[in-house]
Amino acid sequence: MADTGLIFACFGCCCGHTNNGAARIVRPATRRAFDAAGLQGRVRFAFSECLGPCSEANVVFVYLHQRALWFKRVNTLDLFEKLLAYVRTAVDAPGAPLPEELAARSFSWTGGGLGPAPA
């Protein structure tokens, strides 16, 4: 089966670093979580130096079934694993509704600037 989407986890100037108040998320742990989710060959996973909306660190971008989904403040490995579980569901069920915890972290982003104002 060909890849149906991608996930970018931001680890740039703001995301994944505690010096600016963001929660520390460790790359190897997120990679292990992705591997455990069984999405290889279905969704690609990569780290980005900066996705743009720095005010929302830690940011994860998901592109699935030609739909862009942005998530802010993915500050725990548990939350990242919930996002992966949603992606696993949505790969087979396009348009699957976001779980409440992820819906609360979903936002729109078109690029440029610092991102949405923090809540």
Q: Is the confidence at residue 114, as pLDDT, over 60?
A: no
DSSP E strand stretches across the chain:
5-10, 43-48, 60-64, 67-71, 106-107
- Which residues fall within 8 angstroms of residue 100, CB to CB, at 6 or more apart? none
Which two tokens mark 4?
């149906």
What pLDDT sits at residue 118? 44
Per residue in 46-94, pLDDT tens? 988 888 888 888 899 999 988 889 999 998 889 999 999 999 999 999 8
Q: Which domains does the chain have, with CATH numbers?
A: 5-107 (3.40.30)
What pLDDT sits at residue 119? 44
